[in-house]
Amino acid sequence: MQKVAIMVDGGFFLKRLYSELGYLEADTAAKFLMKYCLSHLKSKGKNEESKTLYRIFYYDCLPSGKKVFNPITRKTVDLSKTELYSWMHSFINTLRSQRKVALRLGKLSDAHAGYYLSVDTTKKLIQGRIEELEEKHLQLKVEQKGVDMKLGIDVASLVLKKQVDQIILISGDSDFVPAAKLARREGVDFVLDPLWAHVSPDLFEHIDGMKSHHFNQIKLN
């Protein structure tokens, strides 16, 4: 029986979920995440052992509750009163109540939080393709702190203490490579689930396998 840890890049998962299924209520999205993770335990290859869940690790940050100034509308926006703020808190609270879920919440760098021009808007502005800036040209930017470090520490702890036989990482970027290298050196099977997103071919040398499930195959009832 393989003992499996499932690690979820929360921001990435929620973006993919929204792009595939559209808006879901917070508690529904949390339960869907659980169902999706557990689907990895039910599917196994021809020569694979049966799997049992060690724990689901969820990495994310709660949204900022800061008040930020919008230079287009010239109004101060209280982020703690936005729909996203309420939705994320409800989503995280639902996950807290689930069995075998460990939340790894980083912090947001509120010091530099604010509205900025997107790269695309800046290019168009320089090229003279935008005559007057509108609110749609701004994007709220708040940087995460500590999430990648928490994931790396967890992988190291699981691997060096020999607590799991396999790690399944749900993510879409290459920040996990150092952690994957350590896991594989210590004999732990490291599987990437990019949720059908494109993965750079050179990442394959750092993982033992890749597997994603279709969202429309996950049943909530």
Q: Between 57 and 221, whose confidence is greater?
A: 57
Give the pairing type, strands 75-78 and 67-70: antiparallel
The total of other beta-carbon atoms located within 10 Å of residue 56's CB is: 24
Which of 35-39, 47-51, 55-59, 69-73 is predicted least confidently?
47-51
Q: Between 169 and 114, whose confidence is greater?
A: 169
Please check the confidence at residue 138 and state whether its pLDDT lies above 70: yes
The whole-angstrom separation of Cα 107 and Cα 64 is 9
How confident is residue 37, by pLDDT bands cut at 50, 70 and 90? very high
Looking at residue 136, its amino acid is: K
Sign (positive/negative) of CA torsion 172, 178, 179, 182? positive
Contact predicate 104/145, CB 8 Å: no
Domain 2-107+143-217 of CATH type 3.30.1120.130: no
Structure-token pair, residue 55: 């724990």
> What φ, ψ does residue 87 adopt, rounded to 5°?
-65, -45
Sign (positive/negative) of CA torsion 173, 174, 175, 176? positive
Please check the confidence at residue 16 and state whether its pLDDT lies above 70: yes
Greatest mean pLDDT among 3-12, 109-118, 144-153 lies in: 3-12
How confident is the model at residue 110, as a pLDDT? Answer: 74
Read off the pLDDT of residues 101-115 as tens digits, 9 standing for 90 and up: 999 999 887 777 888
How confident is the model at residue 44, as a pLDDT? Answer: 67
How confident is residue 45, by pLDDT bands cut at 50, 70 and 90? low
* Nearest 10 degrees: Cα torsion 105, 107, 108, 112: -170
How confident is the model at residue 75, as a pLDDT? Answer: 93
Please tell me the pTM assigned to this model.
Answer: 0.90
Q: What is the mean pLDDT of residues 114-137?
A: 89
How confident is residue 76, by pLDDT bands cut at 50, 70 and 90? very high
The whole-angstrom separation of Cα 57 and Cα 46 is 27
Please check the confidence at residue 43 and state whether its pLDDT lies above 80: no
Please check the confidence at residue 201 and state whether its pLDDT lies above 90: no
Please check the confidence at residue 126 and state whether its pLDDT lies above 80: yes
Q: Decide: helix, strand or coil at residue 138.
A: strand
- Mean pLDDT taken over the chain: 92
